[in-house]
Amino acid sequence: MQKVPEAGYEIKGLPVAGLQRSLTLDNLSFPIKLLKSLRIASGIVKDFRPDAVVGVGGYASGPILYAAQNKSIPTLIQEQNSYAGLTNKLLSKKAKTICVAYPAMEKFFPAEKIRITGNPVRKDILDLSGKRDLALKHFGLVEEKTTILVLGGSLGARTLNLAVLRDMAELEKAGYQVLWQSGKFYFKDMLSKMEESNLKHIHLREFIREMDLAYACADVIVSRAGALSVSELSLVGKPVIFIPSPNVAEDHQTKNAMAFVNHQAAVLLKDSEAVGQLKSKVEALMQNPELAAALGKNMKKLAKPDAATAIVNELEKLIQ
């Protein structure tokens, strides 16, 4: 609701929310929110009169795609994860085209509708060559030290932050430097603990906007395994340690990570084991340069840099 208007586009919100896996009071309001969202979505489609509608699997996609399909407007689904979400599975029966990022998605969708396109990613990471020196200077990093980039998303990931917090003194002592995005929710707490530590080579940031520079200077990356993060990292082609979030539907982050681990393109560290094992995982990679290089090379093989163009081409076919 903030980023889209900043980019110059109009946005309209829907009150729909997901069902909680446990019994909560919020679930009682789900039918009311859904019915209201369906009504609003129908009005949006009627007023906007689209030639086609794209859904990416979020809660808001459901009512909009449903409204469009009821009005015989062609719909395209873009499934970002290796494990399809409930919304996309339900709406796939009437969708014209389904763009996916992973193979073997026939278990979720009709095979004849599937197009393997990949996930769209930001253009500035398509070519990182020649950016390392600028990146080191921008973040105040030392050229001679191995750089660990830790990414927990814009809001932050508690486990990743606790893992870095526990091992940061030992990582610095071992000669590493860390560029650490803690996220909005955890920044103040992490900053106060950082100030107590007096460490010089642990660089804490609430949020990193210059991701091309962050990737350019990284020697190893520690990250959650959300769909778009995984797609970006495949383009970067650096050794990655995935710590999937366990707090997502159908444990899809683990499935996303395993799609790369099974191709010898990444390392998996369980969320439950991350605090206390981060340093050993990093060192195992950095002390085996052949393995690190192979992981990055294999990661790059799975990249789909032209995903956005491929999806637009499929969309144009529907409109024509």
pLDDT, block means (10 residues), the chain with 320 residues: 91 83 70 93 97 91 96 97 91 97 94 96 90 97 97 88 97 97 94 91 95 97 95 96 91 94 97 97 96 97 95 96
d(CA 90, CA 86) in angstroms, rounded, equals: 6
Is residue 54 within 8 A of residue 317, CB to CB? The reply is no
d(CA 278, CA 241) in angstroms, rounded, equals: 9
Is residue 233 within 8 A of residue 209, CB to CB? The reply is no
Looking at the fold, whether 31 and 96 belong to one and the same domain comes out as yes
d(CA 17, CA 36) in angstroms, rounded, equals: 11
Tally of domains in the chain: 2
Reported as a single tens digit per residue, the pLDDT across 241-252 is 999 999 887 889
The neighbouring-strand residues paired with 265 are none
Looking at the fold, whether 141 and 262 belong to one and the same domain comes out as yes
Which residue range is the domain that position 9 belongs to? Answer: 3-119+305-319
Reported as a single tens digit per residue, the pLDDT across 118-141 is 999 988 898 899 999 999 999 999
Looking at the fold, whether 99 and 222 belong to one and the same domain comes out as no
Looking at the fold, whether 131 and 270 belong to one and the same domain comes out as yes
Is residue 314 within 8 A of residue 284, CB to CB? The reply is no
Looking at the fold, whether 149 and 213 belong to one and the same domain comes out as yes
Looking at the fold, whether 173 and 106 belong to one and the same domain comes out as no
Residue positions forming the annotated binding site: 81, 122, 154, 208, 227-232, 253
Looking at the fold, whether 93 and 140 belong to one and the same domain comes out as no
Looking at the fold, whether 151 and 259 belong to one and the same domain comes out as yes
d(CA 242, CA 1) in angstroms, rounded, equals: 28
Looking at the fold, whether 168 and 273 belong to one and the same domain comes out as yes
Looking at the fold, whether 112 and 129 belong to one and the same domain comes out as no
CATH of the domain at 265: 3.40.50.2000
pLDDT, position 201: 97
Residue positions forming the annotated binding site for UDP-N-acetyl-alpha-D-glucosamine: 81, 122, 154, 208, 227-232, 253
Looking at the fold, whether 210 and 277 belong to one and the same domain comes out as yes
Q: Is 132 exposed, middle or buried (0-12, 13-18, 19+ CB in 10 A)?
A: middle
pLDDT, position 8: 96
Looking at the fold, whether 141 and 268 belong to one and the same domain comes out as yes
